[in-house]
Amino acid sequence: MKKGDILTDDQKAVARLAKAMGHPIRMYVLELLSRQTCCYSGDLTEVLPIAKSTLSQHLKELKDAGLIQGEIEAPRIKYCLDQENWKLAQDLFKKFLNT
């Protein structure tokens, strides 16, 4: 924790999360997963108007931010919210927005 560093860890953390949420496609995925526990990316490809490689990138960003996790299941991959980090995100945003 360097001294001259003005920005707090929480500010950095919530900015990191917000950045990951800063695209409509990614919010679509997050909302879906917050409603139905899991989904397969194939389902998303069918519905979303983007190439599967692009979707893959978006999912990777959500994964890198810790918001979702993917579990290999036969030929497909099952995506779910990362419950632990999701709770953390809830708390962080609550902290920054509610007061």
Chain residues binding a second copy by CB under 8 A are 4, 6-8, 11-12, 14-16, 18-28, 30-31, 34-35, 47-49, 89-90, 93-94, 96-99
Q: Is 75 in the site for DNA (CB under 7 A)?
A: yes
55, 69, 88, 96: which one binds DNA (CB under 7 A) = 55
Establish how many alpha carbons lie within 13 A of residue 97's alpha carbon, considering only the half-sphere containing its beta carbon: 9
H-type helices in 3-82, by residue range?
9-20, 24-36, 41-47, 52-64
Task: Tell me the C-alpha to C-alpha distance, in Å, between residue 8 and each of 76, 81, 85, 94.
Answer: 39, 26, 18, 16
Enclosing H/E stretch for 86: helix 83-98
Q: Is 82 in the site for DNA (CB under 7 A)?
A: no
Per partner kind, with CB cut-offs from 5 to 8 A, the member of DNA, a second copy, none near residue 6 is a second copy
Note the residues at the interface with DNA (CB under 7 A). Answer: 19, 22-23, 25, 40-42, 45, 49-61, 70, 74-77
